[in-house]
Amino acid sequence: MKIRELFLAIFISLNFVHAQDRGYLVIIGGGDRTEEIMGAILRLSGVNQSVLIIPNASSEPERTGERLKEEFERLGYKDVKIFFGGREKANDKEYIGQFENCKVVFFSGGDQNLHTRDLLSTELLRMIKKIYNEGGVISGTSAGAAVMSKIMITGNELINKDSLNSFNSIERGNIETSEGFGFLEDVIIDQHYIKRKRLNRLISLVLENKDKLGIGIDESTAIIVNPDRTFEVIGESQVIVFDAKKSRVKISPSNKLSGVNITTHVLVKGNKFDLKGRRVLK
């Protein structure tokens, strides 16, 4: 083997190893957290690991943090910590130093915009991503699911301002997004998906971002994203996947979006999906 070819082989090998050097995401669509879902977090991490609760999306973060702490302690975890504070605390290296050894991080439900307001581009989020890249388990429910993708649905509309008749169209430029935490850069996550009939907002974004998969996770349901970028569905309901990469997208004179040949998958417990290959495995 020539020297150049040898170095190329080593480079590819090292990058393959690095690509596998990440942990697990347990993304919950909201609603009741079943024993199966919480048990998956426990199974992936082990009961002896430290847990970090991030309750910032809640309107009552202290109460929510304590309630989640009790929930994790009932699972058997002995060391459960809670982050209390905003951006100042999230950038206080001395304060967040107590979380360095945590191997499980859980983002609460509530308003995802509060999560990103307090944590985006902070030392704490960098620490959490390090935990993930070193094999930790990152989980979240509802708002804590929405923040997982790079493109985050805020819950607001830009064109339709009728809050009593929300998300009533599939049109360009209506669904407001902002930057999420980006644990998944190639998808857009939506939550409470079937229960709250959120088809219009996710499919609008998929048609506007053809390179992204749309993943709608229903209540009491979760996906476990593995280090190899496959995921498995667990829980009581369904997960919807939209893929418009090969579709023909057009915009009508009235600003309505159309898409031909959109691939749609309706997945249930036990189904597995390959995010890189964009295909159902089981």
Q: Specify if 213 maps to a domain.
A: yes
Q: Specify if 280 maps to a domain.
A: no
pLDDT value, residue 11: 45
> Starting from the edge strand earliest in sequence, which strands make up the sheet with 221-225, in order?
80-82, 50-54, 102-107, 137-141, 24-28, 221-225, 230-235, 272-274, 279-280
pLDDT (tens digit, 9 = 90+) per residue, 40-50?
999 999 999 99
Q: Specify if 11 maps to a domain.
A: no
Q: Specify if 148 maps to a domain.
A: yes
Report the domain count for the chain: 1
Query: Residue 247's closest CA among 273, 198, 212, 275?
Result: 212
Q: Specify if 167 maps to a domain.
A: yes
**Rounded to whole angstroms, how far apart are CA atoms 4 and 222?**
45
Please give the full DSSP string across 44-91, using - where no structure is assigned.
HH-TTSEEEEE-TTSSSHHHHHHHHHHHHHHHT-S-EEE----HHHHT
Q: What is the CATH number of the domain that holds 49?
A: 3.40.50.880
DSSP 270: T
pLDDT (tens digit, 9 = 90+) per residue, 62-117?
999 999 999 999 999 999 999 999 999 999 999 999 999 999 999 999 999 999 99
Q: Specify if 1 maps to a domain.
A: no
